């Protein structure tokens, strides 16, 4: 189980089950941290597109597109987890 401080939560989150993460997200304040991570991913994606527009080298553009594509499942998973969190009450 997690300790009682946010610093300890982030150190131990890899050891938690999905249900435990849901519980802490809803009841113990990890929600703002989770939302900030989603915002950061969206910002990274936005910055990739800005760099892509400015880039002239086709190989570098290809790499940027690859990075954007690789980011998509991560972002989608974050939103899917949020949907699951709100639809399912933790045990």
Q: How far apart are CA 74 and CA 27, in angstroms?
A: 24
pLDDT for position 9 = 54
Instruction: Give a yes or no: residue 4 inside a domain.
Output: no
Residues 30-88 have pLDDT tens digits of 777 788 888 999 999 999 999 999 999 999 999 999 999 999 988 888 888 777 766 76
Domain extent at residue 69: 18-87
* pLDDT at residue 8 greater than cutoff 70: no
Inter-residue contact 16 to 39 (CB < 8 Å): no
Instruction: Give a yes or no: residue 55 inside a domain.
Output: yes
Instruction: Give a yes or no: residue 72 inside a domain.
Output: yes
pLDDT for position 87 = 72
- Domain count for the chain, please give it: 1
* pLDDT at residue 91 greater than cutoff 80: no
Instruction: Give a yes or no: residue 3 inside a domain.
Output: no
């Amino acid at each position: 189980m997690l300790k009682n401080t946010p610093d300890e939560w982030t150190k131990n989150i890899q050891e938690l089950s999905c249900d435990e993460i849901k519980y802490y997200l809803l009841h113990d304040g990890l929600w703002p941290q989770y939302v900030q991570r989603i915002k950061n991913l969206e910002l990274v994606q936005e910055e990739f597109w800005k760099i892509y527009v400015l880039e002239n080298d086709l190989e570098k553009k290809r790499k940027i597109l690859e990075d954007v594509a690789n980011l998509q499942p991560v972002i989608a998973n974050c939103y899917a987890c949020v949907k699951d969190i709100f639809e399912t009450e933790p045990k």
